[in-house]
Structure 1
């Protein structure tokens, strides 16, 4: 059954709210959603379907958390989570597609002190109703939780089959939000069709300073439909930062409290009015702390965004 009843009253009120907001602008001139300010805590944006505040920088676990306890890299991961939580971030995103990442995440969060504030997001990535249910039940076990904050249909695989299960589990309270994901422009037509046909809470999609195709139709549609946007591949797969590494930061970087290219690349995304959260992936505590710093201070103006686009081009 399709949910085509448009934006709910709650979504409209959330999108219209603007008290004490910090206003930035996307290339189309639309005001960015409210961002909580205060200086000491990471900024947040309201999830359109609920108005729940979500910190703007999270963590992707692809590759970085696909390690076993015997691996020396595993020993760094508790500090990665500490760096995220100490800066005020909460969203930790995983998937059955990411090897051991879900299990590693569950292990580390179960022993985290004080109690982990994680906003847990994962995905279903298989065909068939029963197969999807079995995979999601396994995710609950691996993540060591009885409730998952966000369940997403990974790369739209068999989405028509899985969506009714996600809606049922949301009604039961087992999952709090539902969404879809993709990472390539070749899927945008299908992503757009699903967003128009179904009422969803989240879209996770690829967006980077050197990968901006999503700005044309997908981001405006999410803003129109009241769908929260999580940006994956925020560094364009890694090549973007390598290209920028030797270049000096713009003279205005200190005005927006930026001291690294990764921070500036993330703030570029967060300055778009449709973006809710970015999830750079890392298994390095120092990188996590640097990434999380993008959630503090002013966002970019339209002129600053255009200057970065010109620099990359």
Structure 2
């Protein structure tokens, strides 16, 4: 079954969306086994496609909450696990916490958030607020967001990890200008996770952050895997190439995500996901074959000519 992003959006939130999601689950089962990636510091395995909540979950009106709730239900039913949020995403933490509580999904998910304050007390206050908003006594991962007050906040996170309140600590950036600094911090601090911007048309992290993470045992969470939608704009009106079937990509979203998660250093990509159709489509990238080195080079050459 091959559907465009536009067709998914038109169906999202309706009974048709549920039928489509069921069809895609059957298609994924036929395509191959689920893919898992390993967190180097623990050996825990995760499905490599998650959900990002920036913009899409903040300020959600009441009529949008039903769609977001169904999105998370479809995501979890399709085998998804990792959900990423942050205090800087408006009220996204609070919205997410309420939705997960209503779905009784918290214990089956890997929940990640961030700290983006300056000063120990301000950082602790923000972290405690995240626990309350997410309605969780333990958070799987908290990362220092965009390297803000990084030494002080990282020390606090390690104390919380030692106390069992969080499971992993990390560092994030969504700015290419911070890649060199992040790579240096990986080598020095050896965090459990790093989060970095990386996409088929934004490959800068592959020359700095990703090698450092692989060398020093940091799991990699990829933000902006669609390049703020730039890759979709680049292929607008184009058919998926026939050779995408060689690695079981059945949509452009899966094409782009499979490129990301096929990198050996990458643990999970977190595309912004706010409709049930997108949740089903995105998680489809986490099954079947992945592009090998030759296919990855072909994908790069393809996008570079557009």
TM-score class, shorter: 0.7 to 0.9
Q: Residue 40 of structure 2 aligns to a residue in which SS?
A: coil
Residue correspondence of structure 1 range 132-281 to structure 2 within 5 A: 132-281=123-272
Deviation at 1:68? Answer: 3.7
Q: 1:105 maps to which residue?
A: 96
Structure 2 unpaired stretches of 5+: 1-28
Deviation at 1:246? Answer: 1.7
Deviation at 1:254? Answer: 2.1
Deviation at 1:245? Answer: 2.7
Q: Residue 280 of structure 1 aligns to a residue in which SS?
A: coil
Deviation at 1:115? Answer: 6.0
CA spacing shift, 1:139–1:38, aligned 2, 3 Å? farther
Deviations 1:221-268 (A, max 9, x none): 111001000000000011111211322222122232211111100000
CA spacing shift, 1:41–1:103, aligned 2, 3 Å? farther
Q: CA RMSD in A?
A: 1.6
- 1:127 paired with 2:118, answer yes
Among candidates 16, 28, 47, match of residue 55 of structure 1: 47
Aligned residues: 276
Using the alignment, how far apart are the partners of 1:248 and 1:229 within structure 2?
Answer: 31
Using the alignment, how far apart are the partners of 1:69 and 1:116 within structure 2?
Answer: 26
CA spacing shift, 1:114–1:163, aligned 2, 3 Å? closer
Using the alignment, how far apart are the partners of 1:213 and 1:51 within structure 2?
Answer: 27
Q: 2:37 maps to which residue?
A: 45
| Larger displacement relative to structure 2 (190-199 or 131-140) | 190-199
TM-score (norm 1): 0.85
Please tell me whether the aligned partners of residues 87 and 292 of structure 1 are also in contact (alpha carbons under 8 angstroms). Answer: yes
Using the alignment, how far apart are the partners of 2:139 and 2:237 within structure 1?
Answer: 41
Please tell me whether the aligned partners of residues 169 and 193 of structure 2 are also in contact (alpha carbons under 8 angstroms). Answer: yes
Please tell me whether the aligned partners of residues 180 and 208 of structure 2 are also in contact (alpha carbons under 8 angstroms). Answer: no
Deviations 1:184-215 (A, max 9, x none): 11111211121111021000000000000111
Please tell me whether the aligned partners of residues 31 and 248 of structure 2 are also in contact (alpha carbons under 8 angstroms). Answer: no
Q: Residue 103 of structure 2 aligns to a residue in which SS?
A: coil
CA spacing shift, 1:41–1:137, aligned 2, 3 Å? farther
Please tell me whether the aligned partners of residues 67 and 73 of structure 1 are also in contact (alpha carbons under 8 angstroms). Answer: no
Using the alignment, how far apart are the partners of 1:39 and 1:128 within structure 2?
Answer: 50
Among candidates 277, 281, 284, match of residue 293 of structure 1: 284
Q: Residue 150 of structure 1 aligns to a residue in which SS?
A: strand
| Larger displacement relative to structure 2 (108-117 or 192-201) | 108-117
Deviations 1:93-121 (A, max 9, x none): 00001001000110011111466511010
Please tell me whether the aligned partners of residues 32 and 288 of structure 2 are also in contact (alpha carbons under 8 angstroms). Answer: no
| Larger displacement relative to structure 2 (38-47 or 288-297) | 38-47
CA spacing shift, 1:204–1:51, aligned 2, 3 Å? same
- 1:305 paired with 2:296, answer yes
Using the alignment, how far apart are the partners of 1:220 and 1:255 within structure 2?
Answer: 27
Q: 1:90 maps to which residue?
A: 81
Q: 2:72 maps to which residue?
A: 81
Deviation at 1:55? Answer: 1.0
Using the alignment, how far apart are the partners of 1:113 and 1:184 within structure 2?
Answer: 35
